[in-house]
């Protein structure tokens, strides 16, 4: 979340920035960041991660995060209200200020833009149209920027996963946001103690959603990344690798452990393991199989490190 953390991320083995949460620029202050602040932040980001790619997610505000001196009213369900790309499309001036900073920074390194909480074609087209307006402003003003900057969509809403084949025609890459995707797909609030037990990354529905998005990305010929807590747990990563994921975004401290497991795993074996998971009807059966599969191939210490929620 902080530019200062890049050196630590690189020392842990990061090869790029899979997702930069720009909300940090907006929170805990009384005013909004200006174009220059955006530009300087993203410039430092791409210069410090070079030659890797920095993926900048546009403002994902709302839900449990709010802008200073801005009220969306009394929303009954803010998690499904005016947040993320919906907020940016409504508050065009705030959105354009951020996009200007991103575009200006794009000449200093490899940078791509990720739009959060996309629900369908209309939203991605509207977001792209606003971006095009900023690009045209820059062209007229002769402000340099990367005219071929890549645009991506977060796949974190069920409607986006179901229409990923259509969205793939509109963007240059996908990034699956597992935290929200699991919550929305299973209709469960993971921090609600009464229903948090239903938050299950290896639920058969989640595996089917991920497999479907992988296929849609392949058909569209675009890269696919995955982020969220699921992408930072080695046992889950092995399943995701077997499903066809190759780019993982995680907290820097998780990188060494995940890389160690990936080096020890054989891709063809993970594919076979992942395919077999679709024979099972429950998350309990799936977790049991994954744990047994890992026990046969990895050290006892590694198997013991599997989190309790994965132990069936």
Residues 241 and 279: their CA atoms lie apart, in Å, by 18
In a domain, 3, yes or no: yes
- Comparing 259 with 300, which gets the higher pLDDT? 259
Confidence at 39, pLDDT banded by 50, 70, 90: very high
In the chain the beta strands, taken as DSSP E runs, fall at 17-21, 53-57, 110-115, 150-155, 173-177, 224-227, 247-248
Domain range for 65 is 1-155
**How far, CA to CA in Å, does 309 sit from each of 72, 139, 165, 189, 235?**
36, 52, 32, 16, 11
Residues 94 and 31: their CA atoms lie apart, in Å, by 12
Residues 78 and 111: their CA atoms lie apart, in Å, by 30
Whether residue 291 is found in the same domain as residue 197: yes
Which CATH number do you get for residue 34? 3.20.20.60
In a domain, 258, yes or no: yes
In a domain, 160, yes or no: no
Whether residue 247 is found in the same domain as residue 295: yes
Q: Which two tokens stand for residue 138?
A: 């820059």
Main-chain dihedrals φ then ψ at residue 243, nearest 5 degrees: -80, -10
Residues 253 and 14: their CA atoms lie apart, in Å, by 10
Cis (ω within 30 of 0) for the bond into 104? no
The pLDDT, as a whole number, for residue 237 is 95
Q: Is the pLDDT of residue 129 over 90?
A: yes
Main-chain dihedrals φ then ψ at residue 58, nearest 5 degrees: -65, 165
Q: Is the pLDDT of residue 305 over 70?
A: no
Mean pLDDT over each residue of the chain, to the nearest integer: 92
Whether residue 149 is found in the same domain as residue 192: no
Residues 55 and 77: their CA atoms lie apart, in Å, by 29
In a domain, 11, yes or no: yes
**How far, CA to CA in Å, does 104 sit from each of 33, 40, 42, 148, 253?**
15, 9, 9, 13, 31
Q: Is 175 in contact with 224 (CB distance < 8 Å)?
A: yes
In a domain, 168, yes or no: no
Whether residue 124 is found in the same domain as residue 244: no
The pLDDT, as a whole number, for residue 201 is 96
Whole-angstrom Cα Rg for the chain: 20
For the ranges 44-48, 72-76, 95-99, 161-165, which has the lowest average pLDDT?
72-76
Number of domains in the chain: 2
Confidence at 300, pLDDT banded by 50, 70, 90: confident
The pLDDT, as a whole number, for residue 61 is 86
Strand partners, 96: none
pLDDT digits (tens, 9 = 90+) for 143-173: 999 999 999 999 999 999 999 999 999 999 9
pTM, rounded to two decimals: 0.93
pLDDT digits (tens, 9 = 90+) for 192-228: 999 999 999 999 999 999 999 999 999 999 999 999 9
Residues with Cβ < 8 Å from 194, sequence gap 6 or more? none
Torsion of CA 87, 192, 257, 212, to 10 degrees: -60
Confidence at 73, pLDDT banded by 50, 70, 90: low
């Amino acid at each position: 979340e902080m530019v200062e953390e890049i050196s630590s991320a690189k020392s842990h083995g990061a090869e790029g920035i899979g997702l930069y949460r720009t909300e940090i620029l907006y929170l805990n202050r009384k005013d909004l960041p200006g174009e220059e602040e955006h530009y300087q932040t993203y410039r430092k980001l791409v210069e410090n991660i070079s030659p890797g790619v920095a993926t900048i997610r546009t403002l994902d505000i709302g839900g449990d995060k709010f802008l200073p001196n801005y009220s969306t009213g009394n929303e009954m369900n803010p998690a499904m209200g005016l947040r993320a790309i919906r907020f940016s499309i409504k508050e065009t001036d705030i959105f354009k200020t951020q996009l200007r900073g991103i575009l200006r920074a794009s000449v200093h390194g490899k940078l791509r833009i990720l739009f959060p909480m996309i629900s369908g074609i209309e939203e991605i087209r509207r977001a792209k149209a606003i971006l095009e307006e900023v690009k045209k402003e820059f062209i007229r003003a002769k402000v340099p920027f990367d005219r071929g900057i890549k645009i991506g969509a977060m796949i974190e809403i069920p409607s986006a996963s179901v229409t990923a084949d259509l969205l793939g025609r509109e963007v240059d890459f996908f990034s699956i946001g597992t935290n929200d995707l699991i919550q929305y797909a299973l209709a469960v609030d993971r921090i609600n103690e009464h229903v948090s037990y239903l938050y299950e990354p290896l639920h058969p529905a989640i595996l089917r959603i991920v497999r479907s998005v992988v296929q849609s990305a392949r058909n569209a010929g675009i890269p696919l990344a995955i982020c969220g807590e699921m992408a930072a747990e080695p046992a889950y990563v092995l399943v995701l690798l077997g499903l066809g994921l190759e780019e993982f975004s995680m907290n820097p401290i998780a990188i060494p452990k995940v890389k160690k497991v990936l080096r020890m795993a054989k891709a063809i074996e993970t594919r076979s393991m992942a395919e077999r998971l679709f024979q099972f009807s429950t998350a309990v059966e799936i977790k049991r199989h994954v744990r047994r599969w890992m026990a046969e191939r990895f050290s006892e210490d590694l198997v013991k490190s599997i989190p309790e929620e994965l132990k069936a």
